[in-house]
Structure 1
Amino acid sequence: MKYSGWPEPGELVVGKIDEIEDFGVFVDLDEYEDKRGLIHVSEVASGWIKNIRDHVNEGQTVVCKVLEVDESAQQIDLSLKDVNDHQRSEKIQEWKNEQKADNWMTLAFGEDVSDEKYASVANELIAAFGSLYDGFEQAAIHGHEELDDVDITDEERDRIVETARENVSVPYVTVTGYVDLESPDGDGVDDVKEALQAAEGNGDIPGEIDLEVTYVGAPEYRIRVRAPNYKTAESQLEESAARAESAIESLGGTASFHRERQTDDE
């Protein structure tokens, strides 16, 4: 996605050097439509520059700081020397993330998605999460609920969540479900304990999975799973509930699994 407006003074931008002159360097800005900036020779590097080509090359991707913007003159003044290594690394990662998000938008809505629809959805995600990438990441971690306040259609929300969960790598994902366990027997407490042990996996849960079963209020128990990705987390949650259901039913009890907590007035 390329922005149609202008960068702001002080902003860090990514661009590609397309022309080198003795007085400076022209840079095509990758994040802005039809925008080109100039790095004056004095802003290429600190100290005296004997040969500007010792410091930059045509086709090189650079991170620059915007010094001044003159829209009437169609001029953007940039600095290369005012960007430190940490800023450069962070900006490049941010730029790469947005390129990924741009590809995810194509996967979600197709290569023939209109510019209007793309911009409409992308702008809503950016407004809600700060960036397109962060929008997809939150959709992968938290699902549809995270997008409830975003002004997009249900179909658009479904496509974003589906695409995010298939493509976004996140540090971890936490999912939660609830299971109601009941036993008619006199020793029903022991039956429920056995079912809970089954839900917890009886010590046989993979090391990268954190699965916790806690009491909510009779007969309801919460199952929370923390895993490296959504599919694994969801699978472990469903398997945990299935183990509890199988265990309690084998003892003559009943079980029901649901995603939302039940309240007394439901």
Structure 2
Amino acid sequence: MQLKIGMKITGVVTGVQPYGVFVDIGDKKQGLIHISECKAGYVDNINRLFKVGQMVEALVIDIDEYSGKVSLSTRSQNARLDVLQRPSLNRPQHIHYWTNYRLQFGFSSIARLRDQWLSEANELFK
């Protein structure tokens, strides 16, 4: 099965550690539910929430592209994922530019100060 962020999966708890819960998600893969992702609020004893062999439903919240490690969450499984999608508008989106694209000065504003910056840098490193 190809995992994707946002997928809801079912797995079996294979280990409980003070920092989180390891879950077998099939295909010889294991995911980790970090203690901060177990439930909303403070978790004083993770062993009260999970037992080895317990079936859990979790949400895939991250997949490390280099190591392939899968981060899971039972806290976020009730989250509304539809709010993450942008609404489609029937009008073009306004794009805010932090500069005025009508002005054509480009590099010239930096070029004016370049000699001053170089002389200041040379004074610092003498």
Q: What aligned pairs does 1:1-266 form with structure 2 within 5 A after superposition?
A: 3=1, 6-30=2-26, 33-84=27-78
TM-score by length of structure 2 reads 0.59
Identical aligned pairs, as a percentage? 33
Q: CA deviation at 1:11?
A: 0.5
Q: CA deviation at 1:67?
A: 0.3
Higher RCO (Cα < 8 Å, 6 or more apart): 2
TM-score by length of structure 1 reads 0.29
Structure 1 stretches of 4+ with a deviation exceeding 3 A read: none
**Matches of 2:66 and 2:54, distance apart in 1:** 28
Secondary structure at the counterpart of residue 76 of structure 2: coil
**Matches of 1:82 and 1:70, distance apart in 2:** 18
Secondary structure at the counterpart of residue 83 of structure 1: helix
Give the counterpart letter for 2:39 in structure 1.
A
More helix by share: 1
**Structure 1: gaps spanning 5 or more residues:** 85-266
Q: CA deviation at 1:71?
A: 3.6
* Contact 1:65-1:83 within 8 A present in 2 as well: yes
* Contact 1:15-1:63 within 8 A present in 2 as well: yes
Q: CA deviation at 1:81?
A: 1.2
**Structure 2: gaps spanning 5 or more residues:** 79-126
* Contact 1:45-1:55 within 8 A present in 2 as well: no
Q: CA deviation at 1:7?
A: 0.6
